[in-house]
Amino acid sequence: MIKTPEIFARIYARHGHRCPMSTLGGCLGLAAMKSLGGSLEGLQAVYSNRSCALDGIAETTGCSEAAGTLVVKSDGRHALTLTSAETAVEIELTAQTLESAGRYRLLCDRLERGWDQLAPEEQIRRRAEMDAMLDELLPQFWQAEAQQLVQKVSK
Ligand SMILES: [Zn+2]
């Protein structure tokens, strides 16, 4: 199994669990910080969806809802806009990436149904099945971030 890169380990610690969307939020944040370049003064982040991605974005950009520098504007997309005093960049997840993340969601929906009524050993078995899918899926996100994002720079 591939070791979790340090930045993603920090995201999962902040977020409380491993999942595709916190990972992809981290990918968005890392890519946005990289393409923004220059001064990071007055950094502002806008994300278009309230999801697990917010913790990944917060950890990688330093923006946070508490500080008022991370704002959620729901428009049904999965796009991060990062703005500094000098420039702005918008990064969006590709449909294919969202589909991979969605497969994990479907698996969880199926395996978590009636969870409280399951025998403890069955819960352990199902938890292992979900973990196995994460072990396969997350390294793909860590390693190939560029292909999973659509980028636009403006201003
Ligand atoms: Zn999550």
Write out pLDDT tens, residues 93-108.
Answer: 988 899 999 999 999 9
Compute, in angstroms, the gap from residue 155 CA to the centroid of ligand 1. 32
Q: Which residues of 6-34 are buried (b: 16+ CB within 10 A; e: fewer)?
A: eebebbbeebeebbbbbbbbbbbbbbbbe
C-alpha to C-alpha distance for 137 and 27, rounded to whole angstroms:
14
Compute, in angstroms, the gap from residue 12 CA to the centroid of ligand 1. 8
Half-sphere exposure of 69 (CA within 13 A, CB side): 16
Compute, in angstroms, the gap from residue 13 CA to the centroid of ligand 1. 11
Q: Which domains does the chain have, with CATH numbers?
A: 6-154 (3.30.1330.130)
Tell me the per-residue pLDDT of 16-46, one tens digit each, with 9 for 90 and over. 999 999 999 999 999 999 888 877 888 999 9
Compute, in angstroms, the gap from residue 8 CA to the centroid of ligand 1. 12
Compute, in angstroms, the gap from residue 20 CA to the centroid of ligand 1. 7
In terms of Cα–Cα distance, which of 75, 102, 78 is closest to 90? Answer: 78
